[in-house]
Structure 1
Amino acid sequence: MTTTPTPPPPALLLRSLGQPDVLVNGRRVVWPARSAEELLWFLHAHPEGAHRHVLLDALWGLEDTPAAANRFRVALHRLRTTLGRPDAVTEHQGRYHLHPDVVAASDTAALHRALTASRASGNIQEREALLRQALASAGGEYLPHLTGDWVEAARSAHRAALVEANLTLSLLHCEARECPLAAQALLRAAETDPLIGEDQHQRLMACLATTRGKYAAIEHYRRYRAYLANELGDTPMPDTVAFAERLKHGEQPCAHAAFVPEGQPGTPPPPGR
């Protein structure tokens, strides 16, 4: 007796950044209903899974009634059918999960894989390569076409990962005495999230003063001060203000070490690679 071999699952690509898209065997899918797409992206943002009542409330503001449960079953069926995988979503002890292969097929997953590998690596060159790989996978806003508290939380987590990658990359460049590259990575971190911490803004001012001159550093300080005033009703810390004043008067900060407030001893920079 011969058996028909099971065909391999379709090749998937999930693009969650910039212009969201889902490709099955190289072809863009057409969603039969927005609810199926929303269910995919919610589970993508929560790989740990979620119970049905959580999904209903977060996605559609519904209580877990028989009518709502039926809506969920329809959305789930459409999602599995659209991806061509009956196992695209699995259920275990009441929690629904995307199949790990589906999660792994996304650009966001590639970003976090590279970040995780970079944290684990003890080789500076390998860490830098992994961070660059992570950032290359991270262009654009996360799911810009969707709204809701759950997607805002996922966007915040994505921005935090980008900030971590850029800040770590800036430190690696600083240790290698690659000042312009350190400044560029710090600028990307600040553009991703202006609230990266005043110590990082101080480092950026030091890098800009060294690589582009004091006027570039002071201009960044002015923009940061305006952001705090307009968005938070706050002002920079006194040591940041004092550092800006010193830069105005021509102080040349060390570009190879983090800023050390006045009156505190610094430490020599580590040797280059």
Structure 2
Amino acid sequence: MLHEQICTIQTAAIPPPRYLLRSLGNADVIVDGVSVVWPARSAEELLWYLHAYPQGRYRHDILAELWDLEDTPAAANRFRVALHRLRAALGRPDAVVDERGRYTLHAELMAASDTYALHHALDASRTSAEPRQQEELLRQALASADGEYLPHLQGEWVEAARSQHRAAVVEGHLTLSMLHCAAHECPLAALSLVRAAETDPLIGEDHHQRLMVCLTMNRGKHAGIEHYRRYRHYLAEEVGDTPMQDTVDLAERLKDGARPCDHGPYLLTGMSARK
């Protein structure tokens, strides 16, 4: 009896494994400070596929979208093997939950991922009415957004998730820029706009116009004009397009020495968005 009590106390004292899922930049899954060594690529692919679909997916969707397979007995067996290996690698049988044929990654694992931290902080910032609190929440969110989503994987499913996370990062930088602008923190406003444009050059031409003005106000007209030239080159080489006339006109005004900003939240005129 005493032996059983000691074993119970020792078992209760052992903390559960701590997880960290890094999906941005160099993807990694860490359990108790040690990176998981995957027994097979299919197990890792299954983990990240389910991570990209927090609402869960059915087996036939997983087979078709992840491995381009029909739901045959052989394919179903491959899925079962990958699922077993995933659970074993993470050291928990409930790593993937099966609810009436719909497979989801355990909520604790989802909450341990960097993209969860990103979107959670963004959601919180949207509901905050206090600018400084909103700014801090956005900083927390963007601190988790270091690199592309799962850069080592390919496929339509990961491209869709990658686009979603990239849009969230851009939203965070743009909102942070507006907060800095409203607080007359011009260099920080320009820096946030630069990071938004680096994350996605096609953020909308109105934002590039704002960045041209911010750079001009902070670093001089040559910085604003140089951004215009880089943006024009990008459109020509990557999109096969040219800047809108509003953007061309703004560039000419900046060349002539205009400083069209009154330290308000984007108090610029004549701007149209390219979607």
Name the TM-score class by shorter chain: over 0.9
Q: For residues 33-182 of structure 1, what are the structure 2 equivalents within 5 Å? A: 33-182=40-189
Cα pair 2:115 2:145 within 8 Å, conserved = yes
Mark the CA change 1:123 to 1:257 in structure 2 (over 3 Å): closer, same or farther: closer
The runs of at least 4 aligned residues of structure 1 exceeding 2 Å deviation read 1-9, 259-263
SS at match of 1:86: coil
Partners of 1:186 and 1:128 lie apart in 2 by 15
Cα pair 1:88 1:102 within 8 Å, conserved = yes
Cα pair 2:20 2:30 within 8 Å, conserved = yes
Report the Cα offset of residue 186 of structure 1: 0.2
SS at match of 2:149: coil
Report the Cα offset of residue 49 of structure 1: 0.5
Cα pair 1:56 1:62 within 8 Å, conserved = yes
SS at match of 2:50: helix
| Partner in structure 1 of residue 17 of structure 2 | 10
Instruction: State which of 259, 269, 273 in structure 2 corresponds to 1:261.
Output: 269
Q: For residues 232-251 of structure 1, what are the structure 2 equivalents within 5 Å? A: 232-251=239-258
Cα pair 1:203 1:259 within 8 Å, conserved = no
SS at match of 2:30: strand
Partners of 1:99 and 1:262 lie apart in 2 by 49
| Partner in structure 2 of residue 268 of structure 1 | none
Partners of 2:152 and 2:267 lie apart in 1 by 40
> Larger % of helix: which?
2
- TM score, norm. by length of structure 1: 0.92
Q: For residues 224-235 of structure 1, what are the structure 2 equivalents within 5 Å? A: 224-235=231-242
- The Cα offsets for residues 8-45 of structure 1, whole Å up to 9 and x where unpaired, read as 54211111111111111111111000000000000011
Partners of 2:110 and 2:255 lie apart in 1 by 50
Report the Cα offset of residue 260 of structure 1: 3.1
Identity of matched residues, %: 68
SS at match of 2:97: strand
Partners of 1:63 and 1:228 lie apart in 2 by 41
Q: Please identify, of 235-244 and 250-259, the stretch whose mean Cα deviation from structure 2 is larger.
A: 250-259
Work out whether 1:213 is the aligned partner of 2:220.
yes
CA RMSD of aligned residues (A): 1.6
Gaps of 5+ in 1: 264-273
Cα pair 2:210 2:268 within 8 Å, conserved = no
How many corresponding residue pairs?
Answer: 263
SS at match of 1:91: strand
Cα pair 2:138 2:172 within 8 Å, conserved = yes
